[in-house]
Structure 1
Amino acid sequence: MSIPTSTRPYHLTAGEGPALWHLGSLATFKATSETTGGQLWLQEVRGGHGYAAPMHRHSREDEAFYVLEGEIVFHVGDEVLGAGAGSFLWAPRGVAHGFCVESDEARFLAFSGTAGLDRFFFDTGEPAGALTLPPPAAGPPDIDALVAAGAAYGVELVGPPPTPRD
């Protein structure tokens, strides 16, 4: 007996998947809303020391993180949590969260069982010119554009990104 699925199986090897430069990181998507029939999205992210996501909250999805390499400090609600390789973090919808890379570089997975938010990254990032960290930005990000794009996906920016503790 076969079990019906909404998508076809697929496989990506290391370095495969749509890659974006996003706010100073390299984000390689291993699963998107399109490839999973709207079931989930997952990205592998590389960021250098100080790479951070601004404090924000989601109204539509929970978000999870799994640290593969490096050290990241997560701010979730009122908690500040250091996370090294092998650490898992759950950020429930409605709870403000952000993070900052504390080590020279970190690599982690970010994902959600609710599809759709992956499109935010494609809307606000740019295709990666190489599978490396992007060159330094010419200036600060367009905060108004990020706020508007986030709002379209049920994400509210509530504060600046955390900074390294050192």
Structure 2
Amino acid sequence: MSSIQTTEQDAFRGIVAKENTGPAETLPGERKPFYLDKGHGKKHQLLSQLLTTMISHRETDGKFSVILLQGPASPEPVPAHYHTREDEWTFILEGKVRWWVGDQHRLLFPGDSIYQPANVPHAFKFEGSYNKMLALNVAGGFEDFFDIVATPSNDFVAPPVSDYQAPSREQWEEAAGKFGWHPVPDYDFGI
């Protein structure tokens, strides 16, 4: 490597160090531009999943929110449910995820996506050894559901299921009523 290249790289590192004045680990809680470092955001553990809110309704004036969901293969699907307020679009980043929406089901792989309109029952199950998907909720606000039913987390990957405490029936009922989340206990998974 020439001394000119080394000098340019050192200069670039200096610029980057000056620009990155601190960690971008938290959401600002208001509508303004922000950076969020990899692995950061508001995190919760629910079932066998780590949920990271990457942008909340507070940063978008309620227009949308984005949540990263990740975790190992799960023994059971997430309980079938529907939302009365949000349309959801989910993009598979890693692993394989079985989705049920309405009367359809399909195994999705990285690069696949699924749209779930409000009031349509849906469920999913992580089936890869490790799975990641990004969910866009329009309108925002549902991410606060996890403040009630999930456990706050500082982890960067989903912790072992043995470390998890399931929400109580009262927590589920409180969150369901507050956020328009409705379980569908008799949903036909067709499996």
TM range (shorter): 0.7 to 0.9
Q: Distance in 1 between matches of 2:96 and 2:35?
A: 28
Show the counterpart of 1:3: none
Q: Which has the higher contact order (CA 8 A, sep 6+)?
A: 1
What secondary structure is seen at the aligned counterpart in 2 of 1:54? coil
Q: After TM superposition, list the pairs within 5 Å mapping 1:68-79 onto structure 2.
A: 68-79=93-104
Name the stretch that deviates more: 122-131 or 74-83.
Answer: 122-131
Question: Which amino acid counterpart does residue 126 of structure 2 have in structure 1?
Answer: V
Is the 1:64–1:91 Cα contact (8 Å) retained in structure 2?
yes
In angstroms, what is the RMSD of aligned CA positions?
Answer: 2.3
Q: Distance in 1 between matches of 2:188 and 2:132?
A: 17
Length-normalised TM-score, structure 2:
0.75
Show the counterpart of 2:35: 11
Cα gap change, 1:7/1:139 in structure 2, threshold over 3 Å: closer, same or farther? closer
Structure 1 stretches lacking a partner, 5+ long: 1-5
1:82, CA displacement in angstroms? 1.1
State whether structure 2 residue 130 is matched by structure 1 residue 130.
no
Higher strand share goes to which structure? Answer: 1
Is the 1:54–1:162 Cα contact (8 Å) retained in structure 2?
no
1:144, CA displacement in angstroms? 4.4
Identity of aligned residues (%): 26
Q: Distance in 2 between matches of 1:129 and 1:10?
A: 20
Structure 2 stretches lacking a partner, 5+ long: 1-29
Name the stretch that deviates more: 109-118 or 91-100.
Answer: 109-118
Is the 1:98–1:161 Cα contact (8 Å) retained in structure 2?
no
State whether structure 2 residue 166 is matched by structure 1 residue 146.
no
Q: Distance in 2 between matches of 1:91 and 1:105?
A: 23
Cα gap change, 1:69/1:33 in structure 2, threshold over 3 Å: closer, same or farther? same
Length-normalised TM-score, structure 1:
0.85
State whether structure 2 residue 25 is matched by structure 1 residue 40.
no
Higher helix share goes to which structure? Answer: 2
Q: Distance in 1 between matches of 2:34 and 2:51?
A: 19
